[in-house]
Amino acid sequence: MDFRYLGNSGLKISEITYGNWLTHGSQVENDAATACVRAALDQGISTFDTADVYANTKAETVLGEALKGERREGLEIFTKVYWPTGPGGKNDTGLSRKHIMESIDGSLRRLQTDYVDLYQAHRYDTETPLEETMQAFADVVRQGKALYIGVSEWTADQIRAGHALAQDLGISLISSQPQYSMLWRVIEGEVVPACEELGIGQIVWSPMAQGVLSGKYKPGEAPPEGSRATDDKGGADMIKRWMDDDVLTRVQKLAPIADEAGLTMAQLAIAWVLQNDNVSAALVGASRPEQVVSNVEAAGVRLEQSALDAIDEALGDAVVRDPAQTAENAPKTRVA
């Protein structure tokens, strides 16, 4: 495993980071989830990312159980706050002071830890003053419940405003967690340049485009049984953007590029996002331990420029680059 600094901070994290969105507490049984976490640890992954909303808090509980007994100082545990949790009451969502202060305590209890290394705003809250949100995060840090602050799917302007307030409050906003893959490159135009300027690193999710870049989905064929495209608990909705025969045909053209690099298509996809100097880590999930073992093979890989050019040629106009997509895919009002 290779390790990178998270932004300009002094915190080092594993460049392959284990995330348990859409798996723990929902898609896979707890024993299988624990086996995946153990496999991640065995492969040198030290960084684990979750969120209170995943499986409505169950994912944090599963991760806390799986990591119990590990040396806490040797781990980096990340979680997030914003989306509705619990029974979905009027204050069970957003980035109000009330929701943040209550949510961090719930997350720590479920994760069985005294602090998280990174506490992230899971989306931007259009209905709460940013000053209120950042003050609450500052208090969480000063109480020792989180070491650093991050955001997820914020626009470049929102990141700049949040970073400025964090500096004023004396806390470190060090990370952005956006979707990023060969097919989804919307952060490259605005978010990445802003973050490079501010010293913020990217922890990117869905580097395999919900599994499409693994090559398992073939044009003109039904999705494999048990795959994300057949999951009615959320996976199928997330992947449907890419379940288009033209996109799938282009993705199949990546197979010889992966072969030439000595990688699987999934490993090629993970290695590709790690070529971006502003990316601190690629988030990967798994439903089976062997998937973790395979994904880790992408750590430390440097792709030749000829391979990067061939990828661009293969995918062509299937790639989404419009920076406006970050704002367009964000909640316009607080989700209840």
| Catalytic residue list | 54
Q: For residue 213, how far is the Cα from the chain centroid?
A: 16
Q: How far is CA 231 from CA 26, 60, 199, 214, 274, in A?
A: 10, 21, 38, 17, 28
**Angle 206-83-273 from CA coordinates, rounded to 5°:** 15
Q: For residue 274, how far is the Cα from the chain centroid?
A: 13
Q: Are strands 279-284 and 16-19 parallel, antiparallel or unpaired?
A: parallel
* Cα(236)–Cα(246) distance, integer angstroms: 18
* Cα(169)–Cα(149) distance, integer angstroms: 12
Alpha helices in 262-323 (DSSP H): 265-273, 289-296, 305-315
* Cα(48)–Cα(103) distance, integer angstroms: 18
Where are any strands of DSSP class E within the chain?
Answer: 3-5, 12-14, 16-19, 47-49, 76-81, 116-121, 146-151, 173-176, 201-204, 279-284
Contact 93, 121 (CB under 8 A): no
Q: Is 298 helix (H, G, I), strand (E, B) or coil?
A: coil
Contact 88, 127 (CB under 8 A): no
